[in-house]
Amino acid sequence: ETGVTQSPTHLIKTRGQQVTLRCSSQSGHNTVSWYQQALGQGPQFIFQYYREEENGRGNFPPRFSGLQFPNYSSELNVNALELDDSALYLCASSHREPRSSYNSPLHFGNGTRLTVT
């Protein structure tokens, strides 16, 4: 089975720019979650997508937005980048049973390391 893949692996942007990060979910998974991991800290939940809709959001401003596509892949978009946005962005996929709140365990990708200068 194909695991979670993220692209690009590394990215350098300038403050004020916009960035798009991509994630392909593991085969058989229909739910994608995004996390931000600052250096030396644990990951923080950004949001989750299920059936192409946002299904839960953490404490992140609206300039963080996302999409999920019919093939369950996902994008994370960040507008008006700030220096504090520098972090490892992790995508995790899982399978949610229809008409159930149960999600299978998360499988994480290796992340995109974003540096904002």
Partner 1 sequence: TQLLEQSPQFLSIQEGENLTVYCNSSSVFSSLQWYRQEPGEGPVLLVTVVTGGEVKKLKRLTFQFGDARKDSSLHITAAQPGDTGLYLCAGGSNFGNEKLTFGTGTRLTIIP
Binding site for partner 1 (CB under 8 A): 4, 33, 35, 40-45, 48, 55-56, 58-59, 90, 92, 94, 96, 100-111
Residue of 44, 68, 72, 71 whose CA lies nearest to 58? 44
Give yes or no for a contact between 90 and 109, defined as CB atoms under 8 angstroms apart. Answer: yes
In the complex with partner 1, the residue whose CB is nearer, 66 or 109, is: 109
Classify the C-alpha dihedral 23-26-29-35 as positive or negative: negative
Shortest gap between Cβ of 32 and partner 1 (angstroms)?
12
Q: Could you tell me the maximum CA-CA distance found in the chain, to the nearest angstrom?
A: 44
Question: How far apart are CB 16 and partner 1 at their closest, in Å?
Answer: 28
When the beta carbons of 62 and 102 are compared against partner 1, the nearer one is 102
